[in-house]
Each structure stands twice: as structure tokens, then as C-alpha cells.
Amino acid sequence: MRIGEVFLGILTAVGGFVDISELVFGAQAGSRFGFALIWVFAFATIGIMVFGEMSGRVAAIAKQPVFNLMRHRLGLKMGLVTLIASLASNLITCAAEIGGMALVLHLLTGAPVSLLAVASTLALIASVWVLPFKWIERSYGLLGLFMIVFAVAVVAIHPPWAQVASAAIPNIPAGLTSSELLTYAYFVVAIVSAVMFPYETYFYSSGGIEDKWTEKDLGVNRLTTLVGFGLGSLLAISILVSAAQLFGPLHIDPQMPGTVALEAAIPFGKAGLLLALLGMLFAISGAAVETCLANAYSVSQFFGWEWGRYKKPWEAPRFTLAWLAVFVTGLALVLTGIDPLTLVEYAVVFSILVLPLTYLPLLLLAGDRTYMHSHANGPVAKILGWSFYAIIVLAALAALPLFVMTSGGQL
Amino acid sequence: MMSPRSKRRGARGPLLAAAAFLIAASGPGERSKDLQTVKEARSVAAEWALTNRLAAAGRVTPTYAEAMARQAKRQLASALKTVSDPQGPAAHELARLTRLPANASPDVLARSARRLLAIEAGLEDR
């Protein structure tokens, strides 16, 4: 195992962990409920570690990407339902990320948002067209490390660490009204969804196949998912903690994505603001690329088309057309003027509905010794996998009623 | 011929659609919509106040402060169109906010946010 490769893989996972939904829900969760929702981030991170590791292992041993499995395990009809729901969820997420990029660029340059949305999309298309897969993943992941300024900012504002640590244990804050309890429950579901977005496993497992992972890469896979996702989650938790300290007392529940950057501007001034905005820009751009490619991977794998960024764009024409179409449709959605935060809310609800269908075939195959041989799920992976699966199903059942009853967490 | 099991499966579609419709129809009423609008507007006003306070202290760039103010005013104007009573206190406060310049005093903005917070508390108590 090359140490440099592992280190880069971990840094990439850290920088690529946060996207616009974690920025929004992390900040709003902190400002509305103090530190109380930290445990949900910690808990959901264990979930994405479990399923991320499983999808990487399946890619390395069975050489099967998630959507290939879905068609075989769920059958054509159910597979098609999952495919359509995933495509919709990823498309909305991709549009939210493009809108978020345009907003952050607007805060940096002052240029018109619609023009910046077009420019951002063209830049994304150019980067996916030109760069090989490994460098697409690494460029955005490593540039996303500017987000570390949020973790440094938390240290600088001296939060009450004992309270922060104790919030890592599941809790419900005392004295909430029934409507606040519903909103708290909505945030629990939304954070689980935002951390465990299905596109992450589609992208991660397809990436494993793009990188031609074998049994030798299982260690890298384990380290990337455990250490990389774990450290990435700390960035999301930092955003929550700063929001609880800085925004809550001022009655701010960030309604504008740019407000989150103030968490770094308060302790570090203009330099902190610029680092935060750059970190947000690259983290969001990386997520836009991941959601877009996840859709192209899904549809190509489902219909058995040639796919992969290791091929030249014209060597896998339907795959290329698919990711181009996602970017263009995402841009079109943004240009209708719909608020990116509204898109984030829809994406989060849609995604949690898709999650059970995404993770079931993965769980079944990762436990199947015919395909996985000695690398099939052991007792720990089985217990964790099925426990998280049960929780995801519960969250999926609760998501839509909670979304409607709390007006997307705004009540 | 359909088996009883597939018939039951077939009947689930309309049931699910009806359930989804009921959930959607039981969504927030006018008071809840106003409460949501005022909550969002209160936060936007407070975000604008914090931005201008940091801008006055030279801790954020002028481009950032102006862009945030433009966004805040746009969201407040949209909230003004949404409130159910155009003559009510929430509408008055929102109209006052939308007339303020981008570099409005942070104290003025913070006072407006506090007034919206009071209106919000009234709506919650109703």
C-alpha cells in the first residue's frame, strides 16, 4: 500500500465530504437546536462509512457497481423505479449545487448569478471532459480542503467543549413545544439523508471500478471510508457548532448560503471569509460533479452501455451524453430562478425515499459468499449494515409527513 | 388472470397516491404560512444586520456585503408578496426593510429583526 496514495485518498474524501445540503442543514441545525443534533451527524457518518466501505469492497471483489446490482437483485420493474427516483434525486441535488456555486461566486465577484451559473456549468463540463477520473476526484477534493477553515474557526471561538462532546450522545433537548419537536425530528431525518446521499455510494463504487481496484485496494478503501469520511464529518460538525455559538443567539437560521461563511469571518476577518467561500465553492463544485457523474453511471450501468471516464468521451458516447444532459438540465432548473435552498430541501427528501432501495441490493451482495468469497460481510458489517438499513427505512417513512408538517423544517 | 396477491399489489398504487394527497392536503394553513414567512424574514434581516456590522468593522469584503444585501432585499421583497394581510404589522415591517439601502445601519436592521421576532411570537401563540 503506497502511503502517498492513501494520504491523498483520505484528503480527497475529507475535502469532498461536505456539500451544499450539509452546509445548509449543519448551520440551521446549530442555530435552531444548539449542539443537540451533533449526534445525528456522528451517527449518519458511521452509516455512510459502513455502506461506503461495503460499496468499495463490492467494486474491488465482485467488480459490480451499485446499479448493475440493483437491476439483478431488484428485478427490472423495481430497478427501473429506483433508477428514475435516483435520477430525479441526483438531478435536483446537482441543480442545487450549481445554484450554490453561482451564489458563492456572486459573493466573491458581484457578477450576475445567472451568468455565473452558466459559467460554472461550462467550467464543470470542461473539467469532466478534460481531466482523467482520478484527477477529477482529487482536484475538487483537495481544493475543498479550504473548508478546514471552519474547523479552525471553531477552535478560535472557544465553544464549551464539554457540552459539544456530550451532544455526541443521542438526546432530545428539554422544553421543546410539539411543533419544535416535529421540526427537530425533521432535522434528524434531513441530516441522515444529507450525510448518506445515495449519489455518494454510486460515485464511490463506480470510482473504484474506474480506478481498477482489486483485493489489494481493500485497505485503502477501509482507510478512506473510516478516516476520510470521519474527518470530513468533523467539518460538518464544526459548521453546526459555530452556528450554535454565533448565529443562535442572534436569531439567525441561515436562509442565505453565504451567511455560513461568516462563521470564519467573525474570528479571522476577510482572510477567513475568503478561505471559507473558496472552500464552499470547491466542495459544492465537487458535489456537482459527483451527482452528475453518479447519474451518468447509474443510467449507463442499468442499460448496459459503455461507461467510464477512463475512456475518451467519444468512446462511451451515451455515457458522455448522459452526464452532459444532467449538467445542462441542472443549469436549466437553476435558470428558472428557483432558490437553491428550496432545491436542497427537495433533494434531501427525495434522497431519503430512495435510500432503502439503494442500500438493499448492496447489503445483499456484500453478504453473498458466491460473489464476495472470503470478503463477504462478517458479523460486525452484517449487524451494522442491517441496523442502519432498518433506521433508513424508518427515516424514509417519516420523511414526507415531517417535510409537509414542518414546511421543510421552517416551522 | 391476476392472482389475489397481484390484485392487492395493484390496489396499493391508488392507496399510496391517496395517502400522499392527504399528507399534502394536511399541509400548513394560512397562519402557518405566515409564521414560516415571518420566521424566514426575521432570520434574513438578522443575517443582513450581522453582515453590515462586520462590513462596518472591515471584516468582510465590500463585494460580499453588497451581494448579501441584494440577496436579503430580494428575499424580503418575496416575503412581502407572500404574507396574507398586506396591511398587517408583518407586511409593514417587511416593506420598511425593503426600502432600506444596502449599507443600512446594522442597529436599524437588528431592531427590525427583533420586531419580526415579536410578530413571530404572536403568530405562534395564536
Domain membership flag for residue B94: yes
Model pLDDT, residue A361: 85
Lowest mean pLDDT among A58-67, A150-159, A239-248: A58-67
* Residue A111 within a domain: yes
Burial class (CB in 10 A: 0-12, 13-18, 19+), A367: middle
Domain count, chain B: 1
B11 belongs to a structural domain: no
| DSSP per-residue string spanning A298-332 | HHHHHHT----TTS-GGGSHHHHHHHHHHHHHHHH
pLDDT at A246: 97
Phi, psi (deg, nearest 5) at residue B71? -65, -40
At residue A316, φ and ψ (nearest 5 deg) are -130, 70
With a CB cutoff of 8 Å and minimum separation 6, the contacts of A340 are: A20, A95, A96, A99, A100, A103, A257, A334
Using CA coordinates, name the residue in chain A closest to B67.
A107
Best of B36, B61, B81, B116 to mutate (most A CBs within 10 Å, chain A): B61
Q: Do the chains contact at A277 and B46, CB–CB below 8 Å?
A: no
Q: Which three-class secondary structure state does DSSP give residue A294? A: helix
The interface predicted TM-score (ipTM) is: 0.90
Mean pLDDT of A191-197: 90
User: A308: pLDDT confidence band, cut at 50, 70 and 90?
Assistant: confident
What's the confidence (pLDDT) of residue A198? 83
- Residue A154: inside a domain: yes
Assess whether pLDDT exceeds 70 at residue B59: yes
Residue B121 is assigned to a structural domain of this protein: yes
Tell me the three cell numbers of residue A323.
452526464
| Non-local CB neighbours of A173 within 8 Å, separated by 6+ positions | A33, A34, A36, A184
Tell whether A410 is covered by a domain.
no
Residues from chain A that touch B65, judged by Cβ atoms under 8 A, are none
pLDDT of residue A47: 94
* Pair B124, A183: CB distance under 8 Å: no
Q: Which range (A250-259, A299-308, A402-411, B40-49) has the least confidence?
A: A402-411
Per-residue pLDDT at B28: 53
Check: CB of residue A311 under 8 Å from CB of residue A80: no
Domain assignment of residue B65, given as a range: 30-125
- Residue A14: its pLDDT value, please? 76
Residue B90 lies in a domain: yes
- Domain span holding position A166: 3-405
Residue of A334, A330, A340, A302 lying closest to A318 (CA atoms): A302
For A166-187, write each residue's pLDDT tens digit. 999 999 998 898 889 999 999 9
From B63's Cα to the closest Cα of chain A, the distance in A is: 6
- Is B24 a member of any domain? no
Residue A18 φ/ψ, nearest 5 degrees: -85, 140
Q: Is residue B3 part of a domain?
A: no
A137 compared with B23, residue with greater pLDDT: A137
Domain contains B79: yes
Which amino acid is located at A408 in the chain? Answer: G
A411 within a domain of the structure (yes/no): no
| pLDDT at res. A2 | 66
